[in-house]
Amino acid sequence: MSFRNFKMVDYVVYGRGAFNQLDEILAPRRKGEAPMIFFVDQYFEHNSTFLARVPLRGKDKVVIIDVTHEPKTTYVDQLRDELTAEFGTVSGIIGIGGGSVMDMAKAVSLMMTNPGSSADYQGWDLVKQAGVYKAGIPTISGTGAEVSRTTVLTGPVRKLGMNSDFTPFDQIVLDPELISTVPAQQRFYTAMDCFIHCVESLTGTYLNTFSQSYGEKAQDLCEEIFLHQSAWSPESDEKLMMASYAGGMSIAYSQVGVAHAVSYGLSYLLGTKHGIGNCIVFDKLEEFYPEGVVKFKKMVDLHRIEIPQGITKGLSDADFEKMMDVSMGLAPLWENALGKNWQEQMTRERLRALYERL
Residues making contact with ligand NAD (CB under 6 A) = 41-43, 67, 70-71, 97-101, 103, 139-140, 143-145, 148, 150-152, 178-179, 181-182, 186, 190, 193, 274-275
Question: Taking CB under 5 A as the criterion, which residues in 287-326 touch Zn ion?
Answer: none
CA–CA separation, 211 and 6 (whole Å): 13
One of 60, 103, 146, 193 touching Zn ion (CB under 5 A): 193
Residue nearer to ligand NAD on the CB measure, 90 or 241: 241
Residue nearer to Zn ion on the CB measure, 193 or 335: 193
Least separation, in Å, of the C-beta of 145 and Zn ion? 9
Largest CA distance in the chain: 59
Q: In the bound complex, which residue of the shown chain has the CB atom lying closest to Zn ion?
A: 193
Residue 151 binding partner per list ligand NAD, Zn ion, none, with a CB distance cut-off of 5 to 8 Å that depends on partner kind: ligand NAD
Least separation, in Å, of the C-beta of 146 and Zn ion? 13
Residue 25 binding partner per list ligand NAD, Zn ion, none, with a CB distance cut-off of 5 to 8 Å that depends on partner kind: none
Least separation, in Å, of the C-beta of 59 and ligand NAD? 26
Residue nearer to ligand NAD on the CB measure, 35 or 333: 333
**Contact at 8 Å (CB) between 327 and 259?**
no
Residue 156: φ, ψ to 5°? -65, -30
Q: Which amino acid is at 245?
A: Y
Residue 335 binding partner per list ligand NAD, Zn ion, none, with a CB distance cut-off of 5 to 8 Å that depends on partner kind: none
Least separation, in Å, of the C-beta of 268 and ligand NAD? 11
Residue nearer to ligand NAD on the CB measure, 35 or 262: 262
Least separation, in Å, of the C-beta of 12 and ligand NAD? 16
Residue nearer to ligand NAD on the CB measure, 274 or 303: 274
Residue nearer to ligand NAD on the CB measure, 144 or 204: 144
Alpha helices in the chain (DSSP H): 22-26, 48-52, 73-87, 99-111, 184-202, 209-226, 234-252, 258-270, 274-282, 290-302, 317-328, 331-338, 342-345, 348-357
SS3 at position 30: coil
Least separation, in Å, of the C-beta of 327 and Zn ion? 14
Task: Classify residue 125 as left (phi > 0), alpha (psi -120 to 50) or beta.
Answer: left
CA–CA separation, 212 and 190 (whole Å): 21
Q: Which amino acid is at 121?
A: Y
**Contact at 8 Å (CB) between 286 and 333?**
no
CA–CA separation, 226 and 239 (whole Å): 11
**Contact at 8 Å (CB) between 111 and 132?**
no
Residue 42 binding partner per list ligand NAD, Zn ion, none, with a CB distance cut-off of 5 to 8 Å that depends on partner kind: ligand NAD
Rg of the chain taking only CA atoms, in angstroms = 20
Least separation, in Å, of the C-beta of 353 and ligand NAD? 26
Residue nearer to ligand NAD on the CB measure, 182 or 354: 182
Residue ranges in contact with Zn ion by CB under 5 A: 193
